[in-house]
Chain A
Amino acid sequence: ILNVEQSPQSLHVQEGDSTNFTCSFPSSNFYALHWYRWETAKSPEALFVMTLNGDEKKKGRISATLNTKEGYSYLYIKGSQPEDSATYLCAFRPRSNDYKLSFGAGTTVTVRA
């Protein structure tokens, strides 16, 4: 079992504020880290796939960074909007496994208007 931890478990943000949260994963045998956004009553949706140490990805107001040496990734939301309310899941893919992902429990973000 691969240990993927996300913190905090949940957070509340005022509309317009920025926020960030963490995914930690095993630093050895790294191949890729995935971020998903899961809105209530919808399918989890892929945000980013990150593979290189120091990688930074951006999609609109959401961005993510990756540190494979120390085993963590941050996801940032700039100027949060109510539509950003969702559970954000990260998933670790080790080099030793072709396609299976190990998920964290997610960070649930609630943006208050």
Chain B
Amino acid sequence: DAMVIQNPRYQVTQFGKPVTLSCSQTLNHNVMYWYQQKSSQAPKLLFHYYDKDFNNEADTPDNFQSRRPNTSFCFLDIRSPGLGDAAMYLCATSRAGREVAHEQFFGPGTRLTVL
């Protein structure tokens, strides 16, 4: 089945130690998104790729970076994780365009713990 896969599902890191979360998709969608969700809050868009074009949200901290080496893979790099970066990180994909059923397809998320 076509899907969005995130690895690892759970990640524990130390304060200040760089960490990379990965996302892959078999849907061949041209847009990939990274969201951060903290407990009881709305998923917050960090950035997205439209094909190879990187689009950063205005309030995304510089500590967060992303790479998309090809259509299928996208990485979230947190350069120096702080305690406040502990959250669920969701990857999603979509096919861009003005069609109505423009739904996003999500991975199961990576739960990041910062010690």
Q: Give chain B residues whose Cβ lies under 8 Å from the Cβ of A44.
A: 90, 106
Digitize B66-106: 1 where CB-to-A-CB distance is under 8 Å, 0 elsewhere.
00000000000000000000000010001011101111111
Closest residue to B108 on the A side, CB-wise? A43
Dominant secondary structure of chain A at its interface with chain B: loop
User: Given A43-B4, A105-B40, do A49 and B90 touch, yes or no (CB 8 Å)?
Assistant: no
Residues of B21-50 whose CB lies within 8 A of A: 31, 35, 40-43, 45, 48
Counting CB contacts under 8 A, is A62 at the interface? no
- Cβ of B102 and Cβ of A93 under 8 Å apart? yes
Q: Is the interface of B mostly helix, strand, loop or mixed?
A: loop
- Number of A-B residue pairs having CB atoms within 8 Å of each other in the complex: 52
A103 within 8 A of B: yes
Categorize the interface residue count of chain A: 20 to 34
Q: Report the bound CA distance from A27 to B31 in whole Å.
A: 27
Instruction: State whether the Cβ of A18 lies closer than 8 Å to any Cβ in chain B.
Output: no
Given contacts A9-B40, A98-B97, A99-B31, whether A49 and B102 have CB atoms under 8 Å apart is yes
Residues of A within 8 A of B96 (CB): 98-99
Query: A42 at the A/B interface (Cβ < 8 Å)?
Result: yes
A103 close to B42 (CB less than 8 A): yes
Residue with the greatest number of chain A CB neighbours at <10 A, chosen from B4, B98, B106, B109: B106
Residue in contact with A49 in the complex, picked from B3, B41, B100, CB distance below 8 Å:
B100
| 19 additional A-B residue pairs with CB within 8 Å, beyond A43-B107, A105-B42 | A4-B42, A34-B103, A36-B106, A43-B4, A44-B90, A45-B106, A46-B103, A46-B105, A49-B103, A91-B104, A93-B102, A98-B97, A99-B94, A99-B97, A101-B104, A103-B35, A104-B42, A105-B40, A105-B41
Residues of chain B at the chain A interface (Cβ within 8 Å): 3-4, 31, 35, 40-43, 45, 48, 90, 94, 96-98, 100-109
